[in-house]
Amino acid sequence: MARPPRAVFVTLLAMLMSGSLCVGLVSGALAVPGSVQAAQQAPAVLAPAKAEGVAPTAAGVQKALAAILADPSLGKHRGIYVYDASRGKTVFSAGTAVPFTPASTLKLLTTVSALETLGADHTFTTKVVSAGSGSIVLVGGGDPLLATKPAANAEFPTRATLQSLAASTAKALKAQGVAGVSLGYDASLFTGPAANANWEANYLPEGIAARTSALWVNEGRLSPGMAKRADSPAQAAATAFAKLLAGYGIKVAATVRAATAPAAAKPIAQVASPTLGQIVEYVNLHSDNDGAEVLLRHVGLATNNGGSYVGGVKGLRATLTKLGLDVSKATIYDGSGLTRANKVPLELLAGAVRVAASEDHPELRHLLTGLPVAGFSGSLEDRFAAPGTSTGTGLVRAKTGTLTGVHSLAGLARDRTGTLLVFAIASDSVPVPKTLDARAALDRAAAALANCGCAV
């Protein structure tokens, strides 16, 4: 089935997710003659969605999903959890007794914890401080999106850059009459191993993941957009900074070394990251493994558990518990979902979305606004194109999870009667030859929920 035009779906999405439709002219209406206004006013595409539509039943949801859940491409361990967010109750679950390897849907837990502990308006500062006569230190503040230079094309969010920091630093040094410096770098904000001990051996050499650092540019990539990462992301960032400083007329000593910034030193110059809310949107939209690992360590710091990945996991579990989510059956080792050792109940994955949609937690909304839109954006841009999935296009928002043999979706959809459904669906036993079939089955399940009245 051919997809209707994207503009229509975007309009439907906006109406259905907000539960309201503005009809008529908002401003200047009195200046337009009534007959002209009536002639120009476009008809509503469909009636406004109700805040609470028809109450779905377990039998109704089971009927809508039965054939999809029986698809053999999903392997032996498959399950789904569906929650009626309009009424605050679980509607249906199947195959949820044993937790699943979540893959990247785990990022929902990491990002909701970061929003809760730090706040959506929080930013991370990269700065340069004086370390004595003729010596400066570049200090990493854990900005996951710090870049060397501005992107050639407009991007969201707009990133802080070393180029901007170098320009400000050079200006400040020249104002002090300083023409040359030695440069050190301080990435001590994060502690513990830079790589997670539970990751596959090929992740670092193949650039699937970076060594997590409080100071890096381009997520540790040696060249923007390329896979290969620096063995020491902090040193690579400092070396790039030295070259930029030289370009602005400040001579920098040839050797760049690790250093400890004086505790009381005032910044010579600094740049701030995008807000945490924007970073969370980026991480979930693009399923950014490296960004998620940085945020995990910030959660550890914010909860006084330290800046290691172990401390981050402790902080994550404590924060989720504070939000009323049950983590007792979850085994979590990282923030990105890269390790197969993670085992998480589907109810917990859906729970992150549920609390973000709750009236009690408006501070968590960026978790929802960053979710990919089915068929349109992020990791769902090329999804929902198979037969039986078109009813979800533009109407489902969900985080994807993918590892070899593992596929998951967790997010939300407002069904055709107006009820907001939160769901998590996964299989971690997919036969490799059935990968695309399994992924399409998950899409059909989410689309079925979006098309569901599910009252009988």
Enzyme catalytic residues = 104, 107, 287
Residue keyed to tokens 């406004």: 48
Task: Please state, in angstroms and rounded to a whole number, the distance separating the CA atoms of residues 219 and 143.
Answer: 9
Q: What pairing do the DSSP bridges indicate for beta strands 78-84 and 420-427?
A: antiparallel
State phi, psi for 338 to the nearest 5 degrees.
-70, -30
Amino acid at 278: Q
Sheet containing 267-272, strands listed edge to edge, beginning at the edge strand earlier in sequence: 251-258, 180-186, 135-139, 125-130, 267-272
Nearest to 337 by CA among 431, 408, 401, 280: 401
End-to-end CA distance of the chain: 27
Q: How many residues belong to the chain?
A: 456
User: Which 3 state secondary structure label does DSSP give 359?
Assistant: coil
How far is CA 157 from each of CA 15, 277, 280, 283, rounded to the nearest angstrom?
25, 10, 10, 11
Sign of CA dihedral 301, 306, 311, 315: negative
Identify the residue whose tokens are 């981050």: 312
The 8-class DSSP code of residue 203 comes to T
Going by the DSSP 8-state scheme, the letter that residue 144 receives in this structure is: T
Place of tokens 């410096």: 181
Phi-psi region of 288 (alpha: psi -120 to 50; beta: other; left: phi over 0): beta
